[in-house]
Amino acid sequence: MNHKFGYTQYLVRKKIISIVGAKFHIYNANEELVMFSQLKAFKLKEDIRLYSDESMTEELLTISARSMVDFSATYDVKDPSTGEHVGSLRRKGFKSILKDEWIIMSPNEVEIGRIKEESSVLALLRRFLSNLIPQQYNVLINGNTVTTFKQNFNPFVTKMNVDFSADPSHVLDRRLGLAASVLLCAIDGKQN
């Protein structure tokens, strides 16, 4: 596995205003760029590719929707260098209306965990009053929080802190965790 997936903390930064589509910069705790992605605008079927840098020559991870527009979409995460299917992320459609929830699946389509928005009250306020209220997600495996995604308040740039420090034995594959954080930022932008 590429060393860029070995860090404990990341910052995912998404530029909101971009004519060609959203740009994601992923930094490690030392503020070094470790991954980059540029989404094409006006795509009906999500296809996100993470690269080692802005030159976009070395592809590190792909996140692809199985269907075009789906309320309970499933996204496959693959490692293009090995062809390995890392796992999948499935949005709990109706449950996510009030509070976001995702299922994390193994490569064999077995549920291994969940991603849940932390506060029901803040989730409701965010959906109905203001999208400026930052979100926090907890990644739960076997009932234990192994990772957190915390969004920072900034009306111009979406920033999400990804913290794997509660998972020193890598119960959650970092590739799947980072794919989830980028996907949450990408989907959030389309909901608002």
Whether residue 48 has pLDDT greater than 60: yes
pLDDT at 75: 94
Phi, psi of 177 (to 5 degrees): -65, -45
Helices in the chain by DSSP H: which ranges? 120-128, 174-191
pTM: 0.87
* Residue length of the chain: 192
User: Is residue 76 within 8 Å of 63, Cβ to Cβ?
Assistant: yes
Domain range 3-191, CATH architecture: Beta Barrel (2.40)
Whether residue 98 has pLDDT greater than 70: no
Which are the contacts of 33, defined by CB distance < 8 A and separation ≥ 6? 25, 26, 27, 53, 54
Cα 133 to Cα 146: distance, rounded to the nearest angstrom: 23
Residue ranges with strand state E in 52-143:
59-65, 74-79, 84-91, 101-105, 111-117, 136-141
Whether residue 125 has pLDDT greater than 60: no
- Where residue 173 falls among pLDDT bands split at 50, 70, 90? very high
- Where residue 134 falls among pLDDT bands split at 50, 70, 90? confident
Tens digit of each residue's pLDDT (9 = 90 or more) over 51-93: 999 999 999 999 999 887 666 789 999 999 999 999 999 988 6
Cα 71 to Cα 92: distance, rounded to the nearest angstrom: 8
- Where residue 16 falls among pLDDT bands split at 50, 70, 90? low
- Where residue 191 falls among pLDDT bands split at 50, 70, 90? very low
pLDDT at 84: 96
User: Is residue 134 within 8 Å of 150, Cβ to Cβ?
Assistant: yes
Report the phi/psi class of residue 178: left, alpha or beta, with left for phi > 0 and alpha for psi in -120 to 50: alpha
Cα 32 to Cα 26: distance, rounded to the nearest angstrom: 8
Domain ranges of the chain: 3-191
* % of residues, the chain, pLDDT over 70: 79
pLDDT at 144: 94
